[in-house]
């Protein structure tokens, strides 16, 4: 299967002349300060590189800080690397790359040692060892957590502190990364960004690492923070980077659902501790769907919750914590505090939950060193597609991937940058022509288009999809993209919306092409898994001057195992 589709997408969010803006020069440039970006930056700095870390918001604001459950690592004598690999492959529904899985799983203990050496304080049991728990899809207790349900806060705080202390790392918070800078030979040479005061600046570097997190904000129902607008995938794609498996967007089955309130994740650790799901009639329903009931893989639980909501005509189901061993308020203080604000006592009251977009499995296609097809451009974490998660991410493997492969990418980025020290590259000419003024009397409402996109994606590319709904979604996305490009003012909310529209379009392309159901991708018009589709979906941009003129969508076989 090779499908060619014409597009007309501007490669740049903003016209600029790199010769007329202030320049900063570093060896390695990392965009994002979460688990993956922080690990990459610290590894590069330890490797002797001079590193800049750019973050769109505050240095502490990332997807990582919102992670509740934990990070998976084989540390229990009763566990084994083989078991963790087998669990990951099983949940990945045939699309996880065995070599990548093996490499990440075996590197987990060393990654945890690094975190602890930086100051991370994980929960301990009475003997002083790690208080390991079990989550859905895992056959053993291998989940490290901190503060019960505040693991992301602890990891982010630890990484941020390490970044701020390192003498070879300079942080640039409140810096919006717009477009990649390239050398005459097409190699990544930095990027252009706006600082918090609106100043346009250029950051030059021999190696650029994108670690911008996910794109959950393209969905109306999501656990992701406001910064998760798919910036890294869109930026890389416009620069010519191949994207992979964008149809796989994982929905977390249990988001707190209070009408009018932001969706809040109710971590899987609650179900691992004995929480059960009940419908509006009080009936527990998960045993009907999977032998592991509430600890089934997330795609199974999400579809079961969605089915039960449809069957009962309700807007949510209930999570019952009355059977949790111990005091739920003490075990899950963060969840308890949030629910109490809405008048819910988690020890006795049913907690209303429904699925929400949680994790972007697809992303920029990379190898285990983070390399994209664009020389000098790497990607790590949620904006990258390494092949670890396959078609369905097993819980707590994402933080592990970020820490392991972020570190590995940083090491290799430093080596590449040090080899290039002293070399000079003439930056390729950018699009310096200012856009034509919009037609008089026509305006675009950015807030309205953003909400319309989020609703469209939830209703037509959510837990269930069909070709008819995806075709309709693509037509609307095309219209909105042209309107926003032609009519919207050049400011951050516009640039974020352009990135969200780009990611939404890529997700729809991938989902329409994959005519089967596998993992988190469920098509009611193709409900069965097909052996012929045990392959990745790659979307390759066709670059013509300053335009992305089209894409080629290809079915790509699984790669050979990669040695650790």
Asked if residues 209 and 410 have their Cβ atoms less than 8 Å apart, the reply is yes
Shared domain for 43 and 103, answered yes or no, is yes
Q: Which residues of 380-390 are buried (b: 16+ CB within 10 A; e: fewer)?
A: bbbbbbbbbbb
Shared domain for 394 and 270, answered yes or no, is no
Element (H, E) at 116: helix 108-118
Does residue 494 lie in a domain region? no
pLDDT per residue as tens digits for the range 398-414: 999 999 999 999 999 99
Q: How far apart are CA 546 and CA 543, in angstroms?
A: 7
Asked if residues 378 and 205 have their Cβ atoms less than 8 Å apart, the reply is no
Shared domain for 257 and 311, answered yes or no, is yes
Residues spanned by the domain of 296: 252-358
**What percent of the chain shows pLDDT beyond 70?**
94
pTM: 0.91
Token pair for 441:
């009397």
Does residue 232 lie in a domain region? yes
Shared domain for 183 and 34, answered yes or no, is yes
User: How would you write the pLDDT of the chain (564 residues) with one tens digit per residue?
Assistant: 689 999 999 999 988 777 788 999 999 999 999 999 999 999 999 999 999 999 998 877 777 877 767 899 999 999 999 999 999 999 999 999 999 999 999 999 999 999 999 999 999 988 999 999 888 789 999 999 988 768 888 999 999 999 999 999 999 999 999 999 988 788 999 999 999 878 899 999 999 999 999 999 999 989 888 999 999 999 999 999 999 999 999 998 888 888 766 677 887 778 878 899 999 889 999 999 998 898 888 888 989 998 899 888 888 899 999 888 888 998 888 888 888 888 899 999 999 999 999 999 999 999 999 999 999 999 999 999 999 999 999 989 999 999 999 999 999 999 999 988 867 666 665 555 555 666 666 788 999 999 999 999 999 999 999 999 999 999 999 999 999 988 999 899 999 999 999 999 999 999 999 999 999 999 999 999 999 999 999 999 999 988 999 999 999 998 754 443
Beta bridge partners of 535: 557
Token pair for 319:
């999570």
Shared domain for 259 and 343, answered yes or no, is yes
Does residue 149 lie in a domain region? yes
Question: β-strand 176-182 against 188-194: which pairing, if any?
Answer: antiparallel
Look up the CATH number of the domain holding residue 150: 3.50.50.60
Shared domain for 376 and 241, answered yes or no, is yes
Does residue 554 lie in a domain region? no
Token pair for 217:
């904000």
Indicate the number of domains in the chain.
2
Shared domain for 235 and 280, answered yes or no, is no
Beta bridge partners of 521: 518
**Helix/strand/coil (H/E/C) assignment for every residue in 396-411:** CHHHHHHHHHHHHHHH
Does residue 65 lie in a domain region? yes
Beta bridge partners of 536: 556
The residues annotated as belonging to the active site are 298
Task: Write down the H helix ranges in 191-245.
Answer: 231-238
**Helix/strand/coil (H/E/C) assignment for every residue in 329-350:** HHHCHHHHHHHHHCCCCCCCCC
């Amino acid at each position: 299967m090779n499908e060619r589709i014409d597009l007309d997408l501007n490669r740049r969010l903003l016209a600029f002349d790199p010769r007329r803006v202030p320049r900063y020069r570093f060896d390695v440039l990392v965009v994002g300060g979460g688990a993956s970006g922080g690990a990459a930056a610290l590894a590069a700095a330890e490797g002797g590189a001079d590193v800049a870390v750019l973050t769109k918001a505050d240095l502490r604001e990332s997807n990582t800080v919102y992670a509740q459950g934990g990070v998976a690592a084989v540390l229990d004598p009763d566990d084994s690397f083989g078991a963790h690999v087998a669990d990951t492959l099983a949940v990945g529904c045939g699309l996880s790359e065995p070599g990548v899985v093996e490499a990440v799983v075996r590197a987990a203990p060393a990654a945890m040692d690094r975190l602890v050496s930086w100051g991370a304080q994980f929960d301990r049991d009475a003997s002083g060892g790690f208080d390991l728990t079990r989550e859905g899809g895992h056959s053993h207790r291998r989940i490290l957590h901190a503060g019960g349900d505040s693991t992301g806060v602890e990891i982010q705080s630890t990484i941020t502190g390490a970044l701020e202390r390192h003498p070879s790392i300079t942080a640039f918070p409140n810096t919006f990364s717009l477009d990649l800078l390239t050398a005459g030979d097409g190699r990544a040479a930095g990027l252009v960004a706006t600082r918090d005061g609106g100043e346009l600046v250029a950051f030059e570097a021999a190696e650029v690492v994108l670690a911008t997190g996910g794109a959950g904000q393209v969905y109306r129902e999501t656990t992701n923070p406001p910064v998760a607008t798919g910036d890294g995938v869109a930026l890389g794609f416009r620069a010519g980077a191949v994207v992979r498996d964008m149809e796989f967007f994982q929905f977390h089955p249990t988001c707190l659902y209070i009408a009018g309130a932001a969706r809040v994740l109710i971590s899987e650790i609650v179900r691992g501790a004995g929480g059960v799901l009940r419908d509006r009639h009080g009936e527990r329903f998960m045993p009907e769907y999977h032998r592991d009931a509430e600890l089934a893989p997330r795609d199974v639980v999400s579809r079961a919750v969605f089915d039960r909501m449809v069957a009962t005509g309700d807007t949510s189901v209930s999570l019952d914590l009355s059977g949790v061993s111990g005091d739920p308020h003490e075990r899950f203080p963060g969840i308890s505090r949030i629910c109490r604000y809405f008048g819910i006592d988690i020890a006795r009251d049913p907690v209303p939950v429904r699925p929400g977009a949680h994790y972007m499995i697809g992303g920029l296609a990379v190898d285990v060193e983070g390399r994209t097809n664009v020389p000098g451009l790497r990607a790590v974490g949620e904006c990258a597609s390494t092949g670890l998660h396959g078609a369905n991410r097993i819980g707590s493997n994402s933080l592990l991937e970020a820490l392991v492969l972020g570190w590995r990418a940083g090491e290799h980025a430093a080596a590449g940058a040090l080899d290039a020290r002293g070399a000079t590259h003439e930056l390729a000419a950018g699009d310096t022509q200012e856009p034509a003024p919009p037609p008089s009397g026509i305006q675009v409402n950015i807030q309205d288009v953003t909400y319309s996109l989020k609703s469209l994606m939830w209703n037509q590319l959510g837990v269930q999809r069909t070709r008819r709904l995806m075709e309709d979604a693509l037509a609307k996305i095309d219209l909105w993209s042209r309107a926003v490009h032609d009519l919207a003012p050049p400011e951050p909310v516009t640039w974020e919306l352009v990135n969200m529209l780009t990611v939404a379009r890529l997700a729809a392309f991938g989902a329409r092409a994959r005519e089967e159901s596998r993992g988190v991708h469920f098509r009611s018009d193709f409900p069965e898994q097909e052996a012929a589709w045990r392959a990745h979906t790659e979307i390759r941009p066709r670059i013509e001057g300053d335009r992305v003129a089209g894409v080629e969508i290809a079915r790509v076989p699984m790669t050979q195992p990669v040695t650790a």
